[in-house]
Amino acid sequence: MVREIPFQQVDVFTDTPYRGNPVAVVLDGNDLSTKEMQAIANWTNLSETTFVCRPTTPQADYRLRIFTPNSELPFAGHPTIGSAYAWLQQGMKPRSEGCLVQECGSGLVSIQVEDNKLFLALPEPKISNIQPADLHELANALGIQSRQVRVHARVDVGAVWLTLQLPDADTVLHLRPDQSRLASLTPRGVTGVTVFGFAEEASEYQVEVRSFAPGEGVAEDPVCGSGNGCVATLIREFKLLDERRYVARQGTCVGRHGRVEVRYLEIGSILIGGHAVTCIEGALRI
């Protein structure tokens, strides 16, 4: 018997369709097996596909399972925002007005709705070192010298990224990484490599970001929420900006124009957010 399941494809970190990062959102994953979910994610061939399910805790509005074409993730940024947007577009109401609570592999994630934008509260980051020999190999795979890397760390925000600050935005934009080498250098449990550099002062954004995850089947993620969360973590940890908020741009090299807004709260939390827009709406036939 054929089942029809509500589906949306949402463009995240943009208010203009087809200029952000798409996520496929299956709005009723309760009766799907993990094997079926992975097969659907492989078929959509997007960086992430999500499945909205019943929560297992009364604090949550829904439970989200997140898949790349190759594997399941405990957390990811743009799928969280895109799925929350799709859930609201379906006419669903959160338990608390203006705030959703998502249950996922990393625990509970709160999402604020503000002026047609959504902001997720980043899970508590964990920072560890990248060894010098590993950094040297990563730099070579990116096509740069390790001395060009200003700040670096392995950052875990639910998704784990090897995160590197480069001299400036221009250096970030001109990278031509060796994807096969990056894949081989990405340890198990690490999503990929995120790099960032600061833009000139007159720019409408402060930070240029790129994220590479060839080991997950995603050569370059157009606009990555968790990658930007790792960047925001290093900016705070190393006091690289004085401002309590900034705008990052991502997707330039793959024909997108993503805008990621970052806010640092007094209590120490980091908010990552922006616009979202539905590009496709219909049903999957299973």
- So which residues are the catalytic ones? 48
d(CA 13, CA 22): 9
d(CA 23, CA 84): 11
CB 48 within 8 A of CB 193: no
Strand partners, 250: 209, 258
Q: Spell 194-230 as b/e; 16+ CB within 10 A means b.
A: bbbbbbeeeeebbbbbbbbbbbbbbebbbbbbbbbbb
Burial of 152 (0-12, 13-18, 19+ CB in 10 A): buried
